Amino acid sequence: MGLDVCGNSTALELIRKMIQKGREQRSIIIHGEKGLGKKQLARYIAASYLCSRHDGEPCGKCRSCTMVMHGTHPDIINVQANANGNYIVDDSIRPIVADSAVMPNESRYKVYIIPDLDRSVNTAVAVQNILLKLIEEPPAHVVIIMTARSKEIFLPTIVSRTLSLSVSCVSEQECMQYLRENTEQLSESQIAEAVSAGRGNIGRCLSYLEKDSFYDSVQAARALCDASVTRDGYSILAALHGVEGKKALARDCITLFGEIVRDACADRLGETDEKLSVSCYAQGARKLCSSLSASACARLYDTVCDYTGRIDANCNLSLTLNSFAAKLSQAV
């Protein structure tokens, strides 16, 4: 895997200047929605810190950069969560603290990358409390990079002692160019379809092309939108039936549907600039806008937010989806 990072020029420029001035930040949080390249940015920063040229960006040619690209650099430690996304404190985190005293094998820094900390719902606070001492007084050779969807999951004591970098979507033109250069045997229509679903989120676009979970959630969200436009209660139930028993897919489906509703609300209020659109179904958002009043759009969006929260609160999924279908029928 290469070291290129699409977009996010502000974050890259900040890292470059810090390295050039010899003021590398030793604890970093990278936050942003799934698919925007948080892990890739973490690798880029690690490579920049360890590159033998040390001029602010990885050269991609030295021994250090080559090992980073092949995933074999001994001074980059990718911390692993368990199958459920939780970090087991005694297995994953305490060993970091113990190992941090050991000098690097090859480079001036030893970089610990702790990805998707927000998924560690059961242990996120315990993990941060254990890391806090290391972040407050890190050995001269230690760098810690953590990633999460939102900065809000981090303790204030952690946030105040780290550099926070927000990753953002790239333009749709940049996204299309990336797909052209990094995928094979795809037609322009396939690329355009993926970009219309994932917008400026390259990870989402790739997942859509691979017909991964994002593809399934997009199809379900679009079906839910079409059913809402026709006000067909049976079709609403049918659209939700496809995510029955699949909590992650159900949440993603409703979240994506919420983005469609958000765009419909914006259209209804006259905010028709396509650059402000965020959803995976621009055509569906326009149909929804045409079929609903402004107050109905607002009620629908409130309903989506309510039921997303219920799924996050671990309410019974089957009952939640049935209740959501009923509320959706009332809202439209």
Q: Residue 35's CB: how many other CB atoms inside 10 A?
A: 19
Cα angle 52, 46, 108 (rounded to 5 degrees) comes to 50
| Each residue's pLDDT expressed in tens, for the chain with a length of 332 residues | 578 888 889 999 999 999 999 999 999 999 998 889 999 999 999 999 999 998 999 999 999 999 999 999 999 999 999 887 889 888 889 999 999 999 999 999 999 999 999 888 788 899 999 999 999 999 999 999 999 999 999 999 999 999 999 998 888 889 999 899 888 888 999 999 999 999 889 999 999 999 988 999 999 999 999 999 988 888 999 999 989 999 889 999 999 999 999 999 888 877 655 556 788 998 999 999 998 888 888 889 999 999 998 988 888 999 999 999 998 888 77
Q: Which strands form 76-78's sheet, in the order they lie side by side? A: 76-78, 110-114, 142-148, 27-31, 163-166
- Backbone torsions φ then ψ of 76, nearest 5 degrees: -110, 115
- Max CA pair span of the chain: 64
Decide: 164 and 139 in contact? Cβ < 8 Å: no
CA distance 82 to 91: 10
State both tokens at 48.
């920049």
CA distance 288 to 283: 9
pLDDT at res. 271: 62
- Which DSSP letter does residue 93 get? I
CA distance 146 to 158: 11
State both tokens at 73.
């650099």
pLDDT at res. 314: 82
Cα angle 90, 93, 98 (rounded to 5 degrees) comes to 90
Asked whether the CA dihedral 143, 68, 49, 117 is positive or negative, the reply is: negative
State both tokens at 331.
């809202």
Between the CA of residue 127 and those of 97, 124, 148, 166, 274, what are the distances in Å? 11, 5, 13, 21, 41
Q: How much is the pTM?
A: 0.83
pLDDT at res. 273: 58
